Structure 1
Amino acid sequence: MSGPVFERMALIGVGLIGASLSLAAQRHGLVGEVVGCARTADTREKAEQLGICARSTADPAEAVREADLVMICTPVGAYAGIAEAIAPALRRGAIVSDVGSVKQATIRDVGPVLPDGVHFVPGHPVAGTEKSGPEAGFAELFAQRWTILTPPPGTDTRAVERVTRLWTGCGAMVEEMDAGHHDRVLAMTSHLPHLIAYTIVSTAADLEPGEMREVVKFSAGGFRDFTRIAASDPIMWRDIFLNNKDAVLEVLQRFNEDITALQRAIRWGEGDFLEDRFRRTRELRHEVVQAHQAGSFDPREPDVTPSTPAERALAGQAAPDPGTPGPRGS
């Protein structure tokens, strides 16, 4: 049996993603020692009790000493300060990576600060739940989910290969992508949906108290799903929107134009237009199912992958083999 991919991994931030990565990497023998870094003593204590890290500290520089992998797992707004704090303590040959949902800002804030001889491989595991904190972590989070790596031009290929081995060893599918392209794609697939969810739930919260209580009491599936998304970490999402504002504003403008078109169709009774739109969106849902991206990010929740012949026929797919990973192409 081969040894671990990394002898020592430093986690800067031990919330849902950092905790899950540590648990998965340890389960599969991908890392040796894990050192955690968190601001509060309570978080550090929980991380050690749950086996997320062997030891922990509040000092980022102390956490990264002698680490051959540093994984930044904080909100992206904190990256610049973290990079400045850890740079003097990084060993030559170490790899710095991250899990943030915005990559151009990551490269802007971290890359220029790192010393020569340290490799920088930004990454983004496209997985998560609305829960936060070390106790929310679980080793299965990345199974059959994509991780996108956005190494800047000239990045050492061996460093990229090692980070790829870490993520694939945790069950993820890995694809490399230009950072700007990543930010545009995620603005549509992740950032805009969260913005819409926050807006819808905020609108409900501003209703009259009696009406709001009825909204809570009679929450249908759609609204319930929006509340789940809107329960995500507010600091993390504040930083995402501020650091990917150009791409978010672009897709938001397109969304507003589509909303206006639907509003006009409803007002003028244009049923054919509405039906055509709804058919197209239904077809896109089928494509998501076929790409094996329809299930919950939390395996402890029910999987919505079609299982009956009727459901599979509707989705236009063959019965999935549970031992076969999802497609690796885009």
Structure 2
Amino acid sequence: MTTTPIYPRMAVIGCGLIGSSVIRAAREAGVVGEIAVAESSEAARATIADLGLADRLTADPAEAVRDADLVLFAVPVLSMEAAARAAAPGLKPGATVTDVGSVKGHVAEVLNASCPDTAHVIPGHPIAGSERSGPEAGFAELFQNRWTILTPQERDDPTYAEALARLTAFWTALGANVETMDAKHHDLVLAITSHLPHLIAYNIVGTTADLETVTQAEVMKYSAGGFRDFTRIAASDPTMWRDVFLTNKEAVLEMLGRFSEDLQALSRAIRWGEGDKLFELFSRTREIRRGIVALGQESAEPNFGRDRGKH
């Protein structure tokens, strides 16, 4: 455990699954001192207070970020601009401002426009999560052996470079593997690895729900592993994913076009009985799965997740 905090004061704006997990993990690693939380929901604030997640708890972002060395926005992507503008008056010079959103181009634009030039804006994305939501859903181990991508500005500025190194050390202490990337490239990569799979899951579960020849009871009773996996993904926070698709639509539509072309080719192979093509595809995709498992990226939730409410 780190004995000297990397950030004496941290402010978290929005305290759902990711925000509360950052708080738990940072406390456990000893990398922060005082923690302030701004949360707009009165019910969520009550839960945060009951869980003892915050040293200071408020509905006002500007109050939460006052004197904070690290400010982390953990709100839905389309709420980021309003939250940043509300917090901006309280930001101290030299504060590092980051986020946990799944889209980086839009977030980088609104954070840079909303925050004063004296702040070090370094957008970020921890690639970790669960279908559960709310402050009670967080757990400290969420980021263990997961990737966190930072999309810093291209600046020839020693103080900014120092802020980037400090934020990298913070995420590393939380157990994450950290990589830097251009924001546009991040959004393209995540469109195929995360956003498109979620879109497919939402669609297939929605299609199943609309089938008149299959009752809902039968769907639940006879769900095989594949469909259960889709329902888990499709249970993700609807607000968050609505915002992701609206703010990363160009990359998502590009990947959706590629997927549609490949799906048509697969349809033709089934129609014409081209078993060799099907076997080749299935063999290739199985190797990709094995590679993911070998890298330890096969599950977002650890075995001890049942007890995470206690963290």
TM-score (norm 2): 0.94
Structure 1 counterpart of 2:174:
170
Structure 1 counterpart of 2:242:
238
How do residues 8-19 of structure 1 correspond to structure 2 at under 5 angstroms?
A: 8-19=9-20
Q: Give the whole-Å Cα distance in 2 for the aligned partners of 1:82 and 1:51.
A: 23
Structure having the higher helix fraction is 2
After superposition, the C-alpha distances for 1:57-88 in whole angstroms (9 at most, x for unaligned) are 11111111111111000000011111211112
Q: Secondary structure of the residue that 1:140 maps to in structure 2?
A: helix
> Is the contact made by 2:56 and 2:64 (CA closer than 8 Å) also made in structure 1?
no
> Is the contact made by 1:130 and 1:232 (CA closer than 8 Å) also made in structure 2?
yes
C-alpha displacement of 1:209:
7.7
Structure 1 counterpart of 2:23:
22
5+ residue gaps in structure 1?
Answer: 303-330
2:292 corresponds, among 285, 288, 291, to: 288
Moved over 4 A (4+): none
Q: Give the whole-Å Cα distance in 2 for the aligned partners of 1:2 and 1:298.
A: 27
C-alpha displacement of 1:212:
2.6
Structure 2 counterpart of 1:107:
108
Q: Give the whole-Å Cα distance in 2 for the aligned partners of 1:86 and 1:125.
A: 22
C-alpha displacement of 1:147:
0.4
Structure 1 counterpart of 2:189:
185
Q: Give the whole-Å Cα distance in 1 for the aligned partners of 2:98 and 2:4.
A: 21
Answer with 171-180 or 113-122: which moved more. 113-122
1:298 corresponds, among 286, 298, 301, to: 301
Q: Secondary structure of the residue that 1:36 maps to in structure 2?
A: strand
After superposition, the C-alpha distances for 1:82-130 in whole angstroms (9 at most, x for unaligned) are 1211112110111100000000001111112211211111100000011
Paired letter, 2:53: I
Structure 1 counterpart of 2:200:
196
Q: Give the whole-Å Cα distance in 1 for the aligned partners of 2:198 and 2:264.
A: 20
- Flag the 1:301–1:3 CA change in 2: closer, same or farther, 3 A: closer
Q: Secondary structure of the residue that 1:53 maps to in structure 2?
A: coil
C-alpha displacement of 1:285:
1.1
> Is the contact made by 2:24 and 2:140 (CA closer than 8 Å) also made in structure 1?
yes
> Is the contact made by 1:48 and 1:55 (CA closer than 8 Å) also made in structure 2?
no
Question: Does 1 or 2 have the higher relative contact order (CA < 8 Å, sep 6+)?
Answer: 2
C-alpha displacement of 1:36:
0.8
Count the aligned residue pairs.
301
% same residue: 57
After superposition, the C-alpha distances for 1:19-76 in whole angstroms (9 at most, x for unaligned) are 0000000011100111111112211121122122122111111111111111000000
How do residues 83-102 of structure 1 correspond to structure 2 at under 5 angstroms?
A: 83-102=84-103
Root-mean-square deviation (Å): 1.3
Structure 2 counterpart of 1:70:
71
Paired letter, 2:5: P
1:258 corresponds, among 255, 262, 267, to: 262
After superposition, the C-alpha distances for 1:159-203 in whole angstroms (9 at most, x for unaligned) are 111111111111111001111111010001000000000001001
Q: Give the whole-Å Cα distance in 2 for the aligned partners of 1:72 and 1:241.
A: 19
Paired letter, 1:232: S
> Is the contact made by 1:130 and 1:228 (CA closer than 8 Å) also made in structure 2?
yes
Residue 272 (structure 1) aligned with residue 276 (structure 2): yes
TM-score (norm 1): 0.89
C-alpha displacement of 1:210:
5.3
Paired letter, 1:255: F
Q: Give the whole-Å Cα distance in 2 for the aligned partners of 1:277 and 1:123.
A: 34
Structure 2 counterpart of 1:40:
41
- Flag the 1:54–1:177 CA change in 2: closer, same or farther, 3 A: same
5+ residue gaps in structure 2?
Answer: 306-311
Paired letter, 1:203: T
Q: Give the whole-Å Cα distance in 2 for the aligned partners of 1:100 and 1:26.
A: 21
Structure 2 counterpart of 1:324:
none
